[in-house]
Amino acid sequence: MSADFPAYAPSEEHELLRRTVRELAETKIAPYAAQVDESGAFPQEALDALVAAELHAVHIPEAYGGAGADALATVIVIEEVARVCASSSLIPAVNKLGTMPLLLAGSEELKRRYLAPVARGEAMFSYALSEPEAGSDAASMKTRAVRDGDAWVLNGVKMWITNAGVSQYYTVMAVTDPGKGARGISAFVVDKDDEGVSFGPPERKLGIKGSPTRQVILEDVRVPAERMIGAEGTGFKTALATLDHTRITIAAQALGIAQGALDYALGYVKERRQFGRPVADFQGVQFMLADMAMQIEAARQLTYHAAVKSERVMRGESVPDLTFVSSACKCLASDVAMKVTTDAVQLLGGYGYTRDFPVERMMRDAKITQIYEGTNQIQRMVMARQLLKK
């Protein structure tokens, strides 16, 4: 897309961050990962550890009490947590997803009111765009917001909302002018304590079982007008701009899952013996490992490249191909995660198919990365449109 290739290699500070997060993940999060998956319980131990280390929402600027970490640092945090527990990696990932609309379009008052408690670890922030009949076609949403004096009254149902019920705050997209299509959608901050907010039962899922996915049900929820994010009618534009940044965090999650599976498979094939030799001595196995590592590294380089472009946009620069590269890295990394985790199960043979080993969990967790924040079919459509615009 672009001939502009800025330096995006992680700095010494980034690598120090990686070592810090990896140590925390291996000691404070990994021991609970299988239990979290088996029980479907929210990974409270992971949240507590991330908050204690100030790694739960590193993207929030210092002006609002956050660490002010750049987009690449945020990617590294998510990647390293996902390497041991995909469910837990959705804590920093969804905090960024939920707060990104405020960072892009919110008033200063909204930012100070809602970003500070997230930065302190007192609250989490989710994102409510999809609906039962509006998934890939998000602009066809039915949730309505009707003006009533100094407030808006919201009614509707949001579907597939990550960390719903655990998060305190929600960015909710709703139709404020039905006659204008996508230009009639606005964004609001909704508090779970607002009267009329409730949640559906947790979805019974293939993977990421420790991260609750529920409906957010809005019944005559009265939201003060000052809680609108940006101007009326700009919600869908903000939603798309948000995804340009947060698809990169899904790529980071996919990278971490894939790396965790490769790391485990490497250790296994060096120890497992067949025909009197370590399985790692067989050329067919070596070729599988080489392909897995090559694909992960390709996806990592594209993801880091996209993260740097995302950071440049947040600093006010024009980066016309951010939409392309963010879709590309999400699509590539998630496809790689699905393939690498499947290959890891294959390398462990019958053991890989059992819950006694983590690679089958990683394979189940990887699948969602090809689906949420835009299916990979939608990503390919987005990329094609960007190419054809040129």
Q: Domain check: are 189 and 243 in the same one?
A: no
Q: Domain check: are 243 and 374 in the same one?
A: yes
pLDDT at 5: 45
pLDDT at 10: 87
Does some domain include residue 203? yes
Locate 256 and state its tokens. 């971490």
Domain end: 119, 154, 174, which one? 119
Distance CA 258, CA 333 (A): 9
pTM for this model (two decimals): 0.96
Distance CA 230, CA 69 (A): 24
Contact 289, 266 (CB under 8 A): yes
Q: Domain check: are 160 and 255 in the same one?
A: no
Q: Domain check: are 245 and 381 in the same one?
A: yes
Q: What is the CATH number of the domain that holds 371?
A: 1.20.140.10
* Count of beta carbons in the 10 Å neighbourhood of residue 272: 15
pLDDT at 44: 98
Q: Domain check: are 369 and 244 in the same one?
A: yes
Does some domain include residue 221? yes
Q: Domain check: are 134 and 216 in the same one?
A: yes
Q: What is the pLDDT along the chain (390 residues), one digit of tens a residue?
A: 444 444 567 899 999 999 999 999 999 999 999 999 999 999 999 999 999 999 999 999 999 999 999 999 999 999 999 999 999 999 999 999 999 999 999 999 999 999 999 999 999 999 999 999 999 999 999 999 999 999 999 999 999 999 999 999 999 999 999 999 999 999 999 999 999 999 999 999 999 999 999 999 999 999 999 999 999 999 999 999 999 999 999 999 999 999 999 999 999 999 999 999 999 999 999 999 999 999 999 999 999 999 999 999 999 999 999 999 999 999 999 999 999 999 999 999 999 999 999 999 999 999 999 999 999 999 999 999 999 997
Q: Domain check: are 217 and 246 in the same one?
A: no
23 annotated active-site:
no
Decide the pairing of beta strands 213-224 and 185-191: unpaired
Domain end: 103, 119, 135, which one? 119
pLDDT at 11: 92
Distance CA 290, CA 297 (A): 11
Q: Domain check: are 71 and 189 in the same one?
A: no
pLDDT at 390: 75
Domain end: 231, 264, 282, which one? 231
Among candidate residues 104, 230, 100, the one with its CA nearest the CA of residue 176: 230
Does some domain include residue 2? no
pLDDT at 344: 98
Does some domain include residue 4? no
Q: Domain check: are 115 and 169 in the same one?
A: no
What is the dihedral sign for C-alpha 194, 196, 201, 205?
A: negative
pLDDT at 9: 77
**Rounded alpha-carbon distances, angstroms, from residue 239 to 27, 94, 127, 171, 319:** 36, 14, 10, 10, 18
Domain ranges, residue 191: 125-231
pLDDT at 3: 43
Number of domains into which the chain is organized: 3
